[in-house]
Every structure is written in structure tokens, then in C-alpha cells.
Copies of this chain bind each other. A is one copy, B any other.
Amino acid sequence: MIPLEEARARILASLGPTTAETVPLAQGWGRVLASPVLSRVTQPPADVSAMDGYAVRAADATLGATLAVIGEAPAGHPFPGSVGPGQAVRIFTGAFVPPGADAILLQEDATAAPGQVTVNEAVRPARWIRPAGLDFSAGEALLPAGRRLTARDIGLAAASNHPWLQVHRQPRIAILATGDEIALPGDPLPPGGIVSSNAHALAALVRAGGGEPVVLPIAPDDRDAIAEAARAARSCDMLVTTGGASVGDHDLVQAALGPQGFTLDFWQIAMRPGKPLIWGSLLGTPLLGLPGNPVSALVCAVQFLLPALAILGGGKAAPPPTLRARTGTGLAENDKRYDHLRARLEMQGDTLVATAFPAQDSSMLKTLARAEALILRAPHAPPLPAGEWVDIISLDAIGI
């Protein structure tokens, strides 16, 4: 058995990002930039008014002065002339400030009459003018490569005049559930069988991690069937199997995939749930073999598959993000396996509290579905009384 962190480091070190593709801006949300976004424009492109009012010369717009209104500048319709002494131009938010003007008289500080305006509040030079480039300038790096694009980033890429984006291709992840005893939901169930849940839960997790799942047909515990499925995965960026990772099954997967060019990196990790896990390569396609137990499969996917998807998708090598919370119950001393306690989360005043469920049997998928967090317990972690700080993974925060 190898430690969890070492296993993850070996997995991540062996992976690289997918190549780039061009997508329309409108499809860029959630994708990872392969090239930085440099602004193509300056924003605002010129000095613009921040308010509705009058573009004036500050020197003229003294308290009580009356100025001649010589025209109008709505947003998108620049005034064609300039503002001379004693003159003003009616202006609206976002409109270019005409040459000659150096301040904005707010409309609530003015009294309008036909062809003129009276100043009720003296203006200050530059007041209510947003200078050209206040937000960003042409050529400026706005968004770095490797960034997963938010809705706000899409707005920024649009504002900087990019109809297209260069992003990493979404990693294609083949998912293979194996086992004589499993059948798809709604399909006839063999005697002694159970309904297969792993492939579709993992497919959803792959989507949450920015990948594109390819669910392969279930393979029975049979060398030829497993070998055939493995061939189907060659066009993918990774093959994830589930089942076929316990002691006896491990031999079967090795036997089935060895002749297909499979090389094993490691097997078995000091973690709970999830000890049996296979990592290797099938003629260059990375292969992650998860346990058949649904809870173990999903916890292993959180620790290994999501970080792997991040790398494949163009992001950084990192463990799943953790938060600090106080444990709602006392925790026993941990044994040699890194543990993941299914827990609920709540705010108590200003404090985040994670409370482990009393039953942690790894076969209980319902408990995992109801969990909001995993409390992380390192190997040989000492006993902790209720109220102490623990590291947790928020399942909501990682989108699964």
C-alpha cells in the first residue's frame, strides 16, 4: 500500500494537458484558456461621462453661471464639435466627453432652460469623467492561460473584443464498469445481481470536472470482454474502470489487459474507503482502476480523478480544495489508512461545523449522497475532541 499523497503525485506527474481548440466566446464558460486573452481595445476608448449631466469647462461652471447648451452627446453619438468658453453640451452616462470640456455638471445640480443651463453647484475639474483606459488598455493581458473561465471572464473577453477563444479540448474519459453481477438501471437483473451505479455517477463527476465522459458497455468478468472494452478507449485521454480492482479481480484485469500493452504503475493505496486502486498505462492511455464499491469509487474519484481532469484540461496540479471546519463530534485515533468521514456541514454563528455521520460503512451510497463534506483524517491522526479544527472537502464546492 502506498500513501494517498504519493499516489496522487505519481498520477498527476504523468499527465499533461490536452491540445487547444477554438470555440466561440458564447461557448467559453467553464472552459480553460489555452492562450491568454490580451485586450484588443482600450476601455473606455476615450474619456467618458460617468453620469447624466452637462459637459463643461470647469473654469466656467462656477456657482450661478449660465452656460449656452450647444448640443447633445448621448452614449454612442459623440458630439461633433468642441466645448468653448461659456458653453456646455448635454451628455449622458457612457458618452464621450467632447473636446474642450474637462468636467461634468450633474443634471441634479443644474437648472435647464431652452438653449441654456444654470449651474447650481460648482464643478471640480475631471469630476465625473472616467479617463480613457480606466478599466483596461489595448494590449494588456487580461486573462492568463490556464484559467477556467467564469461568467465575469466571458464578459471581460467580450469587452476586450474577442469573438473567439483558444481553450483546451475537454478531456474525453472512457468509463468502463466491469462485473458479472451488475446491470444498467431498468435492464433485466441477473440472479444475485445489483443495479450498476458507478458508470453514471462517474460520468456526472467527469462533467463536473470539465471532461467529456464516454460510458462504455458493461464488461462481464471475462478477459476477452475487458480487452475489447480497453481497445475502445484508445481514442480517449484516460480510461477509468470500476470494479475489477479487488484482490482476485486485480489478477483478472492484469491478465486481460497485459496482452493489450498494459503496464502497472501501482496498486493499493493506504486510504479508506478505497484501498484497491490501479494506476497504469495502456499503450500510452492512462488507466485509473477504481474500486467497484460505489462509495469507494466516488471518494477515490474525488482524490484522484478530479485532480487528473484538472491537469488534462489545462489546469494546475493540485489536491482537491479543502476548507477548515470544527468537528461536531469527537473523532477516534485513526489507523494507518487515510480516512474520509462522510459528514454534514452547517454554520454555527461564524463557525463552519462538520459533523460525521454515525455510520460510515463504505457500502452506504445513500449516506454519501446526503453528505455535504468529507472530513479528512491523515494516517495515525490523533484522537480529537469535538470542537477542534479539521480539514474538510466540501462536496458542494467541488461541484459533485
Contacts and interface: CB of A to CB of B under 8 A. Distances in A.
Contacts of A368: 152, 155
A316 interface: no
Contacts of A29: 203-204, 207-208
The residue in A130, A143, A155, A293 that gathers the most chain B C-beta atoms within 10 A of its C-beta is A155
Contacts of A234: none
Nearest to A181: B76
Nearest to A159: B197
Contacts of A369: 142-143, 150, 152-153, 155-156
A78 B142 contact: no
Interface in A175-200: 179-182, 184-187, 190-198, 200
Contacts of A136: 366
A76 B201 contact: no
Interface residues of A, number: 95
Given A195-B158, A364-B134, A369-B152, A397 B400 contact: no
Given A50-B363, A94-B292, A154 B201 contact: yes
A35 B146 CA distance: 40
A45 B76 CA distance: 69
A77 B248 CA distance: 15
A216 interface: no
What is the copy number of this chain in the assembly?
Answer: 2
Interface stretch (A109-117, A160-168, A256-264): A160-168
Given A180-B75, A364-B134, A151 B95 contact: no
A169 to B, nearest CB: 19
Contact of A200 (B135, B155, B200, B208): B155
A64 B197 CA distance: 41
A155 B201 contact: yes
Contacts of A71: none
Interface in A361-400: 361, 363-366, 368-369, 371, 389, 395-397, 399-400
Contact of A161 (B181, B195, B298): B195
Nearest to A184: B163
Contact of A92 (B135, B248, B324): B248
Given A93-B293, A156-B365, 10 more contacts: A26-B200, A76-B181, A76-B190, A76-B193, A77-B192, A151-B208, A152-B395, A154-B201, A159-B197, A163-B185
14 contacts: A26-B200, A26-B203, A29-B207, A41-B194, A75-B179, A76-B182, A142-B369, A150-B369, A150-B400, A154-B197, A155-B365, A158-B200, A163-B186, A397-B397
| Shortest Cβ-Cβ A-B pairs, 5 listed | A76-B181, A155-B201, A163-B186, A151-B204, A29-B204
